[in-house]
Copies of this chain bind each other. A is one copy, B any other.
């Protein structure tokens, strides 16, 4: 089982960098509460879905026309597949780590490596989402947020909705 902090970070990064939803084998109540709080405060729509069978998720995604991108250090370098992936409309990104069985390599449309070095699924997901959207995700606005940060050269400035 991956640790809670990493799972929370995968959710937060997915939301912040523009994913519409995340699907997990199991969603702990605490995580669901955390993400509800984040969405209520910071705005936007982001769904946490639970599905014990990873394969069902992958097959359903394929059926609805999503390309399946599996992040793995054993895959093809990101930079060699970016053009092809950017032309795709809808994706399912699989971030597995040790839990994902070998079968995913055959089912994925792309097995992609963000370097062939060991590091972090959170970092790999972040760079993938960033590159797929060519940085546009950094400018994303989140609707109906209660908290808004006003960027500062130094210090913190926060605007609260009334």
Binding site for B on A (CB under 8 A): 3, 5-6, 9, 12-13, 15-17, 38, 42, 72-79, 102, 105-106, 108, 111, 113-120, 122-127, 130-131, 135, 137-140, 142, 148-149, 151-158
Q: Is the interface of A mostly helix, strand, loop or mixed?
A: mixed
Partner of A122, one of B118, B120, B158: B120
- CB-nearest residue of chain B to A18: B115
Partner of A123, one of B9, B111, B113, B117: B9
Partner of A118, one of B42, B75, B123, B125: B42
Which B residues are CB-close (under 8 A) to A119? 9, 12-13, 15-17, 126
Partner of A149, one of B74, B149, B155: B74
**What would be 16 A-B contacts, judged by CB atoms less than 8 Å apart?**
A6-B6, A9-B119, A9-B120, A12-B120, A15-B119, A38-B118, A74-B152, A74-B156, A74-B158, A78-B138, A79-B138, A102-B155, A113-B151, A122-B122, A122-B126, A126-B126
